[in-house]
Amino acid sequence: MDEIGIYYQPELAGEQVRRVRLLMLVRLGWAVLSVALVLVAWRVWPDATNGWVWWYVGLTGAWALVLLVIDVFRWRFALADARAAAQGLAIGLNRDGVMINREWLPWAEVGSVRALPGRLQTSARLVATSRDQRSFSVPLDFTDAMPASVDSAMRVLSAGRVWVDLSRLD
């Protein structure tokens, strides 16, 4: 075992984009439907709904706007991961060094490698930082390897000099 290639699985990234977009549309649809039903109830029974209908519409609209902003960020993160996953090779390892997201680092230049949890329920990331403080990252959930497998491969091929800090994934 002198070389290991860890490849992206673009179909997983594409599915994540579709799932996030669908969730965003469903949340928006439910908010619009809910407000519409309350407004219809207000028109049909104005005396019974007059005291609370505008509070409901305002709070539901505000909450829907907050969730929409969060979902737009999640969608943009998912799109960025999907663009990265279209590249083929995510991580290449051999006895001389590591290639992360098309950036080559000899083992002596690797400062740290960490696995970080995803932002807003997106993919966990493998972040490598070189000794000169450049960082390279890979969305781990869209590769064909688990974080512990990447750690084991790095330990073996770097002769114990480099490992993945998995503590943040707990």
pLDDT in tens, 135-164: 999 999 999 999 999 999 999 999 999 999
Distance in angstroms between the alpha carbons of the first and the last residue of the chain = 29
pLDDT at 143: 93
State pLDDT tens for residues 51-94: 898 999 999 999 999 999 999 999 999 999 898 888 789 999 99
| Residue-averaged pLDDT of the chain | 92
Pairing of strands 110-116, 164-165: parallel
Three-state DSSP at 110 gives strand
pTM reported for the whole predicted model: 0.78
* Torsion angle of the four alpha carbons 122, 128, 129, 134, in this order, in degrees rounded to the nearest 10: -70
Q: Which pLDDT band holds residue 119 (cuts at 50, 70, 90)?
A: confident
Cα–Cα distance, 114 to 109 (Å, whole number): 15
pLDDT at 37: 93
Looking at the chain, the whole-number percentage of residues with pLDDT higher than 90 is: 81
pLDDT of 1 over the 80 cut: no
Phi/psi of residue 128, nearest 5 degrees:
-105, 135
Three-state DSSP at 94 gives strand
Cα–Cα distance, 6 to 131 (Å, whole number): 23
Cα–Cα distance, 56 to 41 (Å, whole number): 12
Q: What is the mean pLDDT of residues 9-25?
A: 93
pLDDT at 36: 94
Beta carbons of 148 and 167 less than 8 angstroms apart: no
